[in-house]
């Protein structure tokens, strides 16, 4: 459909598919605050089993899931080591500090998105009254669309464990990470998701990103950790009653939308390849479903004009001098090609 917008702002913009809506309509429901919603219970068991954990808890958002995780691992005056660009540090309103009095220790990322091991090691405080108690290492994978190298994930989480720290993964896009890792290794996506997840004591996964569900995340961990997180979710107002409607969408996504993530990655590649060679654009080679494009020189001077030009043609992206294009379930090759035509047209006029 040539006139429908090509919405590349985020993979959160997807509409539930007809099959997903049917699964939602058919979901058996109960009051989850009594633990009596069969669809939520089934989803929690499914995601915990998939990722190799004892238990899981359905959450309305990834933000609440990360918050409940950090507050389950840390108490007042504790500290978590985290990346400067990590969602749970930078993009969640400082919730762990605000609601939990948990102090972040942010570290700069290396260009590949990792937190250098020496920096992690150096930021672990000794047991001394001067310092906050370092309790937790929080990583994110993918981070800004980048896959953390698996060797690094192992080494960083081994280091944290050897120093007595808990380990949390913000795996909002864990299945995108697993898809890229499996493609590189010639292995199975679900196996890679589990292998990444098993390096951590807790993992948060979003269903509302590339998996294409309208709402929801899950926090996975030990039974004990999830019991603590449950109490915190209650305090955060996250007890959601007949939310099996939403859990059914998430369950459907786990059954039907994991294997198609590779198609999103291929479309991101198609976009990046198509943009390469346009003067003034520096395209970061995408590893998953997110393409970053920096506008340089004369192109940067026309950034506002470019966005208006794209908007007028129904091509939606975020950013200004650094544009972000995200591929997902509701974008196809035709949409990507329309974006390419619009961008080329701008730069040839
Ligand atoms: C989207 C996202 C979250 C959570 O977002 P919500 O909008 O609260 O669901 C957490 N971490 C990362 C890396 C994300 O991309």
Helices 333-347, 261-275: crossing angle, 10 deg rounding: 20
- Counting as low any pLDDT under 70, the low residues of the chain are 1-2
- List, for residues 201-255, the tens digit of each pLDDT value: 999 999 999 999 999 999 999 999 999 999 999 999 999 999 999 999 999 999 9
Tally of structural domains, the chain? 2
- The CA radius of gyration of the chain, in Å to the nearest whole number, is 21
Q: Which of 256, 281, 306 is the last residue of a domain?
A: 256
Q: Can you give the residue range of the structural domain that contains 304?
A: 6-13+260-347
Per-residue pLDDT at 349: 74
> Whose alpha carbon is nearest atom 4 of ligand 1?
62
First to last CA, the chain: 26
The Å distance, Cα 9 to ligand 1 centre, comes to 14
The Å distance, Cα 83 to ligand 1 centre, comes to 15
Q: Ligand 1 pocket, 264 CB below 6 A?
A: no
The Å distance, Cα 58 to ligand 1 centre, comes to 14
User: Please, how many CA atoms are within 13 Å of residue 315, restricted to the half-sphere of its CB?
Assistant: 24
Q: Which of 237, 256, 275 is the last residue of a domain?
A: 256
The Å distance, Cα 56 to ligand 1 centre, comes to 17
83 plus 170 within the same structural domain: yes
* Ligand 1 nearest atom to the CA of residue 61, by list position: 9
Q: Which of 207, 231, 256 is the last residue of a domain?
A: 256
Q: Give a yes or no: residue 273 inside a domain.
A: yes
Compute CA 127 distance to the chain's CA centroid, rounded to the nearest angstrom. 33
The pTM for the full model equals 0.97
Q: Where are the beta strands (DSSP E) in the chain?
A: 6-7, 55-59, 78-83, 103-107, 133-140, 166-171, 202-206, 217-221, 281-283, 290-295, 315-316, 322-326
> Whose alpha carbon is nearest atom 15 of ligand 1?
172
∠ CA 145-147-150 to the nearest 5 degrees? 165
Per-residue pLDDT at 250: 98
Q: Ligand 1 pocket, 87 CB below 6 A?
A: yes
Q: Give a yes or no: residue 341 inside a domain.
A: yes
179 plus 49 within the same structural domain: yes
Distance CA 179, CA 49 (A): 18
267 plus 138 within the same structural domain: no
152 plus 172 within the same structural domain: yes
């Amino acid at each position: 459909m040539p006139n429908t917008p090509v919405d590349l702002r985020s993979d959160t913009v997807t509409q539930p598919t007809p099959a997903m809506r049917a699964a939602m309509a058919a979901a058996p429901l109960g009051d989850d605050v009594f633990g009596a919603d069969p669809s939520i219970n089934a989803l929690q068991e499914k995601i915990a089993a998939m990722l190799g954990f004892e238990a899981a808890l359905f959450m309305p958002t990834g933000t609440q899931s990360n918050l409940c995780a950090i507050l389950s691992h840390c108490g007042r005056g504790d500290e978590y080591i985290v990346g400067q660009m990590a969602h749970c540090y930078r993009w969640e309103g400082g919730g762990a500090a605000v609601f939990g009095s948990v102090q972040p220790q942010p570290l700069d990322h290396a260009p590949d998105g990792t937190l250098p091991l020496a920096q992690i090691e150096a930021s672990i405080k000794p047991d001394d009254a001067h310092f906050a108690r370092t309790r937790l290492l929080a990583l994110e994978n993918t981070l800004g669309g980048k896959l953390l190298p698996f060797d690094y994930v192992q080494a960083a989480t081994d280091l944290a464990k050897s120093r007595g720290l808990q380990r949390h993964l913000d795996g909002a896009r864990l299945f995108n990470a697993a898809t890229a890792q499996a493609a590189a290794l010639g292995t199975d996506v679900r196996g890679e998701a589990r292998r990444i997840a098993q390096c951590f004591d807790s993992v948060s996964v979003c269903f509302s990103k590339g998996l294409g569900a309208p709402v929801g995340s899950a926090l996975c961990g030990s039974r004990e950790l999830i019991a603590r997180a449950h109490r915190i979710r209650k305090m955060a107002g996250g007890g959601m009653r007949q939310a099996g409607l939403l859990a059914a969408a998430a369950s459907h996504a786990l059954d039907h939308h994991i294997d198609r993530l590779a198609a999103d990655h291929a479309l991101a590649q198609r976009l990046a390849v198509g943009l390469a060679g346009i003067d003034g654009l520096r395209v970061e080679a995408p590893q998953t479903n997110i393409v970053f494009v920096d506008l340089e020189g004369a192109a940067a001077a026309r950034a506002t004009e470019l966005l208006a030009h794209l908007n007028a043609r129904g091509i939606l992206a975020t950013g200004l001098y650094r544009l972000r294009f995200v591929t997902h379930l509701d974008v196809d090759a035709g949409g990507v090609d329309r974006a390419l035509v619009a961008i080329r047209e701008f730069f040839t006029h």
